[in-house]
Amino acid sequence: MTLTIRPARTEDAPALGRMGAALVRLHHSYDPERFMTPEEDLESGYRWWLSRELKRQGAVVLVAERDGRVVGYAYATVEARDWNALRDEHGELHDVWVDESERGSGVGAQLAEEMIRRLRAQGVPRVMLMTAAKNDAAQRLFARLGWRTTMVEMTRELKDSETD
């Protein structure tokens, strides 16, 4: 059973919508206040967004295909210098998803490594990403592939009872 990592095509849109929506729901489950509430038709929204991004220069959408079936994807963009965040131009890895039945056999690592190759070809000096504090599996994957921790995001909720 061969695994292929390739650029996403228009016909991958339904699979991208399904996986992107699953990724949003996973994050919402980690912390429902920090990670926005999934909309009703999240699949369609994500399908529309990634279908647009896969045609855009400066964005990269890859899929992992096993025997003709899409089982994972990764999405990244090239970002300009940002003085607020003190970041020079870089690649930003936004999404990596591997279907549960395919996890633990290197699909995630292959998606990430192919993404690195493609972002390097676009001339960026580094690739940055955010992972949820509770997402141990993702943190292990990215640390194993050479990412280091550089920022810690913190969130404080402003409750009505705190107003004066």
Ligand X SMILES: CC(C)(COP(=O)(O)OP(=O)(O)OC[C@H]1O[C@@H](n2cnc3c(N)ncnc32)[C@H](O)[C@@H]1OP(=O)(O)O)[C@@H](O)C(=O)NCCC(=O)NCCS
Binding site for ligand X (CB under 6 A): 23, 26, 95-98, 103-109, 131, 135, 137-138, 140-141, 144
Least CB distance from residue 44 to ligand X, whole Å?
20
Using the minimum distance from each CB to ligand X, give the nearer residue, 67 or 162. Answer: 67
Chain centroid to CA 67: how far? Answer: 23
Query: In this chain, which residue has its C-beta nearest to ligand X?
Result: 108
Q: Which is nearer to ligand X, 26 or 133 (CB)?
A: 26
Nearer to ligand X, 55 or 103 (CB): 103
State which residue, 10 or 90, has the beta carbon closest to ligand X: 90
Query: How far apart are alpha carbons 42 and 17 in whole angstroms?
Result: 8
CB of 143 to ligand X, least distance (A): 8
Q: Give min distance, CB of 25 to ligand X, in A.
A: 10
Q: For ligand X, give the closer residue by CB, 29 or 81.
A: 29
Judged by DSSP in three states, 69 sits in strand
Q: How far apart are CA 13 and CA 46, in angstroms?
A: 9
Cα atoms in the 13 Å half-sphere on the side-chain side of 107: 25
Task: Give how far Cα 121 sits from Cα of 36, 60, 84, 94, 97, Å.
Answer: 33, 11, 26, 18, 23
User: In angstroms, what is the minimal distance from the CB of 9 to ligand X?
Assistant: 21
Which helix or strand (DSSP H or E) is residue 148 part of? Answer: none
CB of 63 to ligand X, least distance (A): 13
C-beta of residue 68 within 8 angstroms of C-beta of residue 104:
no
Residue 58 bridge partners (DSSP): none
